[in-house]
A and B are shown apart, each in its own frame.
Chain A
Amino acid sequence: MHVIRDDGSLDPTLDPGLSVDQVVALYKAMVRTRVVDDRLEKIQRQGRIAFHVGSLGEEAAIIGAAAALRDRDWIVPCYREVGALLWRGYPLQQYIDHMYGNADDPLRGRQMPDHTFSRAHRYLSVSAPIGTQIPHAVGVAMAAKKRGLDECVGVFFGDGATSSNDFHAAMNFAAVYEAPVLFLCRNNGYAISLPTQRQTATRTLAEKAAAYRIPAARIDGNDVLAVWRAVREGAERAANQGGPTFIELITYRLGGHSTSDDPRVYRSQEETDSWRKLDPLLRLRKHIEQRTAWNDDLDGDWRAVCDAEVKECVRRAEEKPPPELGDMFGDVYAEQPWHLREQQAQCLGGPRASDEEDES
């Protein structure tokens, strides 16, 4: 089932009625995310950043969902959703500074790349342990409801995360407390090397929601308007005191799990190629071309603009110094206790690994 049909036209019974400008904005955001991904992957391969986990092929699921939420709604990310954060206007330079862990990295080199957060953008912090963010999202939604705020929460996670303890606890709490939360499950076919069919014995992920009495939808995550429509419907249910919604976004991780992965070990080229044809950018582009809002020239120009932008951010990020060494000792507690004061002084006054060569 598609909102954007294979020929690029919209199914009139499902058309969510976005203006042409809105749809082009979605396309441009998806392309920008992809260009940023490509560039980061390249510089990781050159050893200039430690790591990158991208969203190649999943841009519609991520950006479509973010676009269907209102600015006051919260996004609780997994780790592939920087496209949603950029959609909300997070500065690209800040993201690239974070990727370098330099002095302007908002978390001052304390975390691996791609562990973003932003209170201003109502975007909680990425954490590596799988599934842990899902109950947080339910808690944020419960707080919004208790405080009488008209907000809902969209929480992203993968197919793999549906096996975690936290997922099940979160689903149960959300249903029991009728929390205004949307479970946005990116079923991208794999959890690193494990295909979804071996992650679970259920035929779909959406059917798990029935066990908790949560309404569920299962949609093409590569059709950005289908994603938009389903998420908006869920958000409206939440706003009308209807409680949680589970949305399975069927998509495909076109790249490796991360820059540390080599997917050729566990899946065939034919499989990946067949999904390449279903690239969410292609489907949406066909549609906006049909609405005569887009063409090859505009496409080339926009990609060049995005690439120039990210290259400039990279250039600046590489000129910046590392964060202060003392930053390592901040934010462990609200106030620094005696032992950390002592350790910080010891560290700053002591020998440095970076001096190693000079010493003898």
Chain B
Amino acid sequence: MTRMNLVQAINSGLRGALQQDETVLLMGEDIGQLGGVFRVTQGLQEEFGADRVLDTPLSETGILGTAIGMALHGLRPVTEIQFADFIYPGFDQLVSEAAKYRYRTAGEFHVPMVVRTPYGGGIRGGQYHSQSPEALFIQTPGLKVVCPSNPYDAKGLLLEAIRDEDPVLFFEPKRVYRAVKMDVPDAPYTVPLGEAKIVRPGEQVTCVAWGAMLYEAFTAAEEVAKRGVDVEVIDLRTLWPLDVDTIVSSVEKTGRIVVVHEAPRTCGFGGELVALVAERAFLRLEAPPVRVTGWDTPFPLTHEHEYLPLAHRIVPALLETARY
């Protein structure tokens, strides 16, 4: 066990994967000598060589497209897209190719690759260093989407994602990178995909969040507890395929749900979550489902803390939902 932050835990997971499995290799911009702009891959090129930790030219199409080819031919590439905001030049490769290869070859070919990418705001990054594009990928059949909130889960989920036979997008909450530390086993271990975690049991309102907003949901839950409202907080961990049972059974108990995410509201993942709850627990609902999200504008700079669905916006949503 070592106390690690999120950056160190992911680094430890990558190191374990490179040691355990010689088909694993890392690719991305500035990930080698620099160790990545957030230092997540620090020391790995030195340890495993430039053949396994590739500093690529500046092309997300190149990174993701060649990773697909390598995955088709026996390797397990783990790619890094420097910021989630810069994934779009490679969007076609992910959405048209990685996602659909298995289906269009009736399973004869498949693409076991991982796309790691920092996402989210609150770091004074403005429009193009702050976005949360998870919904675009969740809506693409064939892609799995993971978003850990803490160092322990990050390492375990990453190792599971690397072992997974399907392409996995792994969104890293950059706001949490150095903000949280916890004990993490030094040896490799896995955390299964598709299992949410109840991080705070409660009886009156279900609050679903992931990544950096999990902490805001938790803070808000503690705050409203002081006012007599008991909130159950669920950390989704894997966004897709979703652990729908954990959410639905929670709502069957509480009758109320508040979903929190940074991405804009319209067609955000929150919309899908409340639709699922409406379909599966309609008769148990005691209040309209609520979404606390980023506004439907591009991500701003000066007022980013008013844009983000931080605790100050979650608290009233929880109170209103509880008292509906």
- A128-B128, A128-B129 as given contacts; A347 in contact with B301, CB under 8 Å: no
- Interface residues as binary, B120-140 with A (CB distance below 8 Å gives 1, 0 otherwise): 000011111100000000000
Which residue of the partner chain, among A199, A352, A355, contacts B58 with CB atoms under 8 Å? A199
Interface size grouping (class) on chain A: 35 or more
Whether the pair B306, A353 counts as a contact (CB closer than 8 A) is yes
Q: Among residues 157 to 191 in chain B, which have CB atoms less than 8 Å away from a CB atom of chain A?
A: none
Interface size grouping (class) on chain B: 35 or more
Whether the pair A353, B124 counts as a contact (CB closer than 8 A) is no
Whether the pair B126, A112 counts as a contact (CB closer than 8 A) is yes
Say if the beta carbon of B300 comes within 8 Å of chain A. Answer: yes
Binds B, one of A143-151, A157-165, A234-242: A157-165
Q: Among residues 126 to 143 in chain A, which have CB atoms less than 8 Å away from a CB atom of chain B?
A: 127-131
Q: Among residues 94 to 137 in chain A, which have CB atoms less than 8 Å away from a CB atom of chain B?
A: 101-102, 105, 108-112, 115, 127-131
B interface SS class: loop
Which residue of the partner chain, among B29, B30, B313, contacts A351 with CB atoms under 8 Å? B313
Min CB distance B167 to A, Å, is 20
Say if the beta carbon of A46 comes within 8 Å of chain B. Answer: no
Binds B, one of A6-14, A70-78, A324-332: A324-332
A interface SS class: loop
- Interface residues as binary, A296-325 with B (CB distance below 8 Å gives 1, 0 otherwise): 000000000000000000000000001101
Q: Among residues 171 to 230 in chain B, which have CB atoms less than 8 Å away from a CB atom of chain A?
A: none
Whether the pair B312, A112 counts as a contact (CB closer than 8 A) is no
Say if the beta carbon of A270 comes within 8 Å of chain B. Answer: no
Which residue of the partner chain, among B29, B125, B298, B302, contacts A322 with CB atoms under 8 Å? B302
Whether the pair B57, A200 counts as a contact (CB closer than 8 A) is yes
Which residue of the partner chain, among B35, B62, B125, B295, contacts A347 with CB atoms under 8 Å? B295
Q: Among residues 265 to 324 in chain B, which have CB atoms less than 8 Å away from a CB atom of chain A?
A: 265-266, 295-298, 300-303, 305-308, 310-313, 315-316
Which residue of the partner chain, among B61, B126, B312, contacts A165 with CB atoms under 8 Å? B61
- A128-B85, A351-B312 as given contacts; A163 in contact with B129, CB under 8 Å: no
Min CB distance B8 to A, Å, is 18
- A165-B89, A332-B298 as given contacts; A160 in contact with B58, CB under 8 Å: yes
Whether the pair A352, B301 counts as a contact (CB closer than 8 A) is no
Say if the beta carbon of A198 comes within 8 Å of chain B. Answer: yes
Q: Among residues 104 to 146 in chain B, which have CB atoms less than 8 Å away from a CB atom of chain A?
A: 124-129
Say if the beta carbon of B33 comes within 8 Å of chain A. Answer: yes
Residue among B61, B127, B295, B302 with the highest chain A CB neighbour number at 10 A: B302
Provide the bound-state CA to CA distance between A356 and B125, in Å: 22
Whether the pair A101, B301 counts as a contact (CB closer than 8 A) is yes
Min CB distance A272 to B, Å, is 16
Say if the beta carbon of B246 comes within 8 Å of chain A. Answer: no
Residues of A within 8 A of B33 (CB): 193, 265-266
Say if the beta carbon of A278 comes within 8 Å of chain B. Answer: no
Whether the pair A347, B306 counts as a contact (CB closer than 8 A) is yes
Provide the bound-state CA to CA distance between A346 and B58, in Å: 41
Say if the beta carbon of A19 comes within 8 Å of chain B. Answer: no
Residues of A within 8 A of B59 (CB): 163-165
Residue among A191, A261, A265, A328 with the highest chain B CB neighbour number at 10 A: A328
Residues of A within 8 A of B37 (CB): 192, 260-261
Which residue of the partner chain, among B86, B303, B313, contacts A325 with CB atoms under 8 Å? B303
Residues of A within 8 A of B306 (CB): 325, 328, 347, 352-354
Residues of B within 8 A of A246 (CB): none
Which residue of the partner chain, among B58, B85, B307, contacts A194 with CB atoms under 8 Å? B58
Provide the bound-state CA to CA distance between A194 and B300, in Å: 30
Whether the pair B126, A163 counts as a contact (CB closer than 8 A) is no
Say if the beta carbon of A252 comes within 8 Å of chain B. Answer: no
Min CB distance A104 to B, Å, is 12
Say if the beta carbon of A339 comes within 8 Å of chain B. Answer: yes
Which residue of the partner chain, among B125, B129, B300, contacts A328 with CB atoms under 8 Å? B300
In the complex, what residue of chain B is closest to A351 when comparing beta carbons? B312
Which residue of the partner chain, among B58, B311, B313, contacts A130 with CB atoms under 8 Å? B58
Residues on A lying within 8 angstroms of B by beta carbon are 50-51, 101-102, 105, 108-112, 115, 127-131, 160-161, 163-166, 191-194, 198-200, 260-261, 265-266, 322-323, 325, 328-329, 332, 339-340, 343, 347, 350-356, 359
A–B Cβ pairs within 8 angstroms, 5 of them: A50-B301, A110-B126, A115-B127, A353-B310, A356-B311
